[in-house]
Amino acid sequence: MYIIYRAVCFLMLPFIFFRLLFKSRSDKNYLYNWSERFGFYGVDSGDYRFWVHAVSVGEVVAASAIIDGCLAQYPNDKIIITVMTPTGRQRAQRLYADNDSVVCAYLPYDVSFSIVKFIRHFNPKILIIMETELWPTLLRVVGKKNIPIMLANARLSARSCRSYARLRSFSRQVLTGISYIAAQSRQDARRFAFLQGGEKKNIVTLGSVKYDLALKKLGAVAPDARVEGEKNFIALSTHPGEEEQIFLAFKNIKAKHAKARLILAPRHSYRAESLMEISKSSYGFRSEFYSKLSNNCSGLDVVLVDKMGVIASLLKMAHVAFVGGSLIDKGGQNPIEPAAYSLPIIMGPSRYNFNEVTRHMSEDGGLFMAEGSADIVSMVNNFFDNPQQARLSGEASYNNVMKYLGATDKHMQYIKKLVH
């Protein structure tokens, strides 16, 4: 099976250029640094003790907890972060712009010669892969080089597990060389064990580092900016197919609460321009890009977030949060950050990416499920009409975050075991 996989990857290489060109239509950054995707790097070579791989923005943010831990405990060592997307690269570069010990590059495509070139260039001693980024050739080549591997903050949804299970013997081979699988939950741990044929000795359940990150961010932004009399509804990490439902819901919310404001932060900020057209032309909302605001949002119906790294400040203004990727079949985005800001949270029914997190939050009374725009209208209006209930639900979501702190320190204990 592995031979077939290698052959398919190699034969696909010519088509990769067309894929990058296609993606560059929406994000021109896909046109840059192509050589890195094949193992050729302009970054200085050298010994990078820690190699941390994170697919895109969400994984990069999660990885920052572990990277910061490594920098604190091993200040003389260098770290190479690899990503797959331009937005992930930009976030990593922004996070560590002032630290010469950390560099960022694209992960090579999953063919042997590219992976080998990467390893020769950076000479990493430990590979830390965030969440569930399992590339067979990468794991095989790294294993042959005797580089220990940790799958950190690991999660495996029931859907993904079923997909991997169709090739269970191959999946077992892929997972064999991993030193530690640090699962977020017991359910994740059980699914990884199933794919390994019941083997559990390399699996540990450490929780999610995203709880620690959310609390860290909470202490790093300005004090609460919620203004009495305002009613701010923030919709985070939305995808195509969701924004129309959010706009429709907000139109009906405005019918009851004239001073209500929508803060809309699409999953990919470059989409803000097209959403601005919909907001103004289709709904007649008084709208502006966040990047063009001066001090406040007064007089606006909709604020469209068109830049990265500002969500924490916006959450301080919000009264109710919707978390995207959940009204369509995307599995939901991360609800932990708005929970840390004591917000009542609304999500759609698709939440398999954060099934354990959302279940706990729902049980505690901090998260509520909406089937569509009508439910969103009802829930947001209810919270606007009953600020005491909104406060209690927000406290429940915050207390849920506090329950699950400490995963970063647990990860560092296992990383220490791999350092030699």
Contacts of 86 (CB under 8 A, 6+ apart): 27, 29, 30, 32
CA distances, 323 to each of 86, 200, 272, 371 (Å):
23, 34, 17, 13
Please give the Cα distance from 391 to 380 (Å, whole number).
13
Of 247, 234, 308, nearest in space to 275 by CA:
247
Read off the DSSP letter of residue 331: -
SS in 3 state form for 304-326? ECCCCCCHHHHHCCCCEEEECCC
| Catalytic site includes residue 199 | no
Please give the Cα distance from 88 to 312 (Å, whole number).
18
Q: Active site residue: 36, 59, 131, 242, which one? A: 59
Contacts of 192 (CB under 8 A, 6+ apart): 154, 156, 175, 181, 183, 203
Give the full edge-to-edge strand order of the sheet including 79-83. 102-106, 79-83, 50-53, 126-130, 149-154, 180-183, 203-205
The Cβ of residue 395 has, within 10 Å, a number of other Cβ atoms equal to 15
Contacts of 381 (CB under 8 A, 6+ apart): 253, 256, 257
The residue type of 94 is R
Q: Contact at 8 Å (CB) between 348 and 150?
A: no
The residue type of 130 is M
Enzyme catalytic residues = 59
